[in-house]
Structure 1
Amino acid sequence: MRDKGLARFARLYGIDTSEAEKPLAAYSDVDDFFTRRLRPGLRPIDPSEDSVVSPADGTVIESGLVTDGHLIQAKGVSFKLDELLADTEAAKRLNGGAYLITYLSPRDYHRVHAPVGGAVIGWHHVPGTLFPVGSKSVVREPRLFVSNERLVTLIQGRRALGLCAVVMVAAVGVGHITAAYDQDIATHSRSFRRAKVRHARYDEPRPIAKGGEIGTFHLGSTTIVVFEPGRVNLSSFVSGDKTNMGATIGRVSTQKTAALTETG
């Protein structure tokens, strides 16, 4: 009966069950299925030295350059980077850099991965609302991404790649985010429910490979990835484009590619 219920759930949201690591009968409940891993090799990671890869499966909401500390949420609607990150120093470093906002629908794969190799140097958990994050909401709620609960992961990119922020934004029904690099992070737990921003910096940064797992949404939501200025040239995206985790979304800038080669 359980797998029949999951089959109905999959049909309702148009989930391609053939991509799942296990057959439906092997999943214990909806959350177990929703946070499923994919079959090995289904999302190959671009191995090129200069490639930057998509952190998630989903649909592009916006992309561009952080301008005067602001990112575009939708036409005519922007939000402040320092509010998003809850980290003034990181926001200063990332101001002027490239960003990509991707929406994960209920049908998508819900694990989020590192767009570049390097080390996780810290994180911030910002409590907040759980507004929906679909296409209508990004227009209707002008402060959506800085109002909703979120987990900010800071990655120091390998060699010349600089700082990268990967933001997992919660949404209605998704106040539960877990991190692969730190088992103590579970945003639905009582300690994380307190109305207080939590910060952590690691004395020993935690290595992560390009395409390595960062965390999991326990339902659909949004990822925002931001790079240091001059480090990454993103591919051209328009709202509505589809992305797959591991696919190339950009390249390290020409000067930085030379630096990568020189530092071997």
Structure 2
Amino acid sequence: MSAAQPGAAARLLVLLQALLPTRLLSRVVHALAHVRARPVKNALIRIFVTRFGVDMREAAEPDATAYPHFNAFFTRALAPGARPLPEDAHTVASPVDGTMSELGAIDGTTLIQAKGSHYDAAGLIGEDAGDFRDGRFCTIYLAPWNYHRIHAPAPLSLTAWRHIPGRLFSVNPVTVSARPRLFARNERVVALFDCAGGRLAVVMVGALLVGSVDTVWAGRVTPPHRRRPSPAIPARGRYAVGEEIGRFNMGSTVILLATPGLLEWSGGLGPGAPLRMGQAIGTLGGAEPSAAAGRPSGHDIARS
């Protein structure tokens, strides 16, 4: 099947991003987002809340100006009960708030990026791609106004993770449709987990102005930006469904990959569907592992 050709405006947008000093822009935005001067950080927060209609009633701290800097506001915690979690141990929950971009079966090791556009799992996650041959995947886009912490979609046991440097193209739908292999080009953190009846990969993809990704097991992974991919780093951690495992310091994308037979997606779920963290998106096969059952146990980001 031939790929659908993106429009001239989309191609121009991709070209512009290719010419921009995206890492420099990311560093500038990162520094601005951590300014503690009250006039600056309060102005940034108020503009953002007004522009995107942020509902602060969902936040653990509803006073937007109480946060020490913009990034603390942007990665704010939710109030208890704001995102109900599934009671059934075999239900797979959305790990984030966002929009479902794509989901379905992995064809061999090929994933859908957008209509008529594909990329390979090996380019996305590296040497572990073979484990996910003919498995399942989904891609969830986080817009700037979404809640930006990432949570375990099922009871998980961390086995390894790696950081893969790359570009910082935007991951908005227009750019995704026009830039081949976008998710395998952008900077990303890949986490590998064991769960009931198989393995799950959670890929946290960086984007334009999103040069900072944190995890609960390694703290701030980037910045600093590195030139070479890290090898798979063995790690251990047990995470209950709904427990925080990471966060983006601006909007981006999360991709889930599951080994064959591990899960089936919920009926009626498709591209364009809005999601809230904790919402049921699939069913997990096999028996619940004793390693990571139950409710969140309070892991938090180790700050560097």
Give the alignment's TM-score, normalised by structure 2.
0.78
The Cα shift of 1:75 comes to 0.5
Query: 1:186 aligned to 2:217?
Result: no
Instruction: Name the SS of the counterpart of 2:231 in structure 1.
Output: strand
Q: Per the alignment, in what secondary structure is the counterpart of residue 238 of structure 2?
A: strand
The CA distance in 2 between the partners of 1:64 and 1:219, in whole Å, is 27
Larger radius of gyration: 2
- Per the TM alignment, residue 14 of structure 1 is displaced from its structure 2 partner at its CA by 2.7
The answer for the alignment partner of 2:116 in structure 1 is 76
**3-state SS of paired residue (1:186):** strand
1:26 aligned to 2:59? no
Partner of 1:40: 80
**1:173 — aligned with what?**
209
Task: Give the corresponding residue for 2:260.
Answer: 229
| Structure 2 unaligned spans of 5+ | 1-38, 294-304
Could you tell me which of 237, 241, 245 is aligned with 1:206?
237
Cα gap change, 1:98/1:107 in structure 2, threshold over 3 Å: closer, same or farther? same
Contact 2:160–2:236 under 8 Å retained in 1: yes
Say which structure, 1 or 2, has more relative contact order (CA 8 Å, 6+ apart): 1
Q: How far off is 1:64 after superposition?
A: 0.4
Runs of 4+ deviating beyond 6 Å = none
Larger strand share, 1 or 2: 1
User: 1:4 Cα shift?
Assistant: 4.9
> Residue 65 of structure 1 aligns with which residue?
105
Tell me the equivalent position of 1:17: 56
Unaligned runs of 5+ in 1: none
User: Aligned equivalents of 2:138 and 2:121: distance in 1?
Assistant: 13
TM-score w.r.t. length of structure 1:
0.90
CA contact (8 A) 2:199 2:262 kept: no
Q: CA deviation at 1:32?
A: 1.1
Residues in 1 aligned to 2:68 and 2:59: alpha-carbon distance in whole angstroms: 14
* Aligned match for 2:284, one of 221, 227, 252: 252
Deviation by residue 1:118-169 (Cα, 9 ceiling, x = unmatched): 2111101000000010110111101110000000011111xx3311000000
Paired residue for 1:95, among 111, 133, 137? 133
Aligned-residue sequence identity (percent) comes to 37
Using the alignment, how far apart are the partners of 1:118 and 1:45 within structure 2? 15
User: Which amino acid in 2 is paired with 1:8?
Assistant: I
CA distance in 2, matches of 1:151, 1:5: 28
| Deviation per residue, 1:11-69 (Å, 9 max, x gap) | 11232222121111211221111111111111121121211111100001100011021
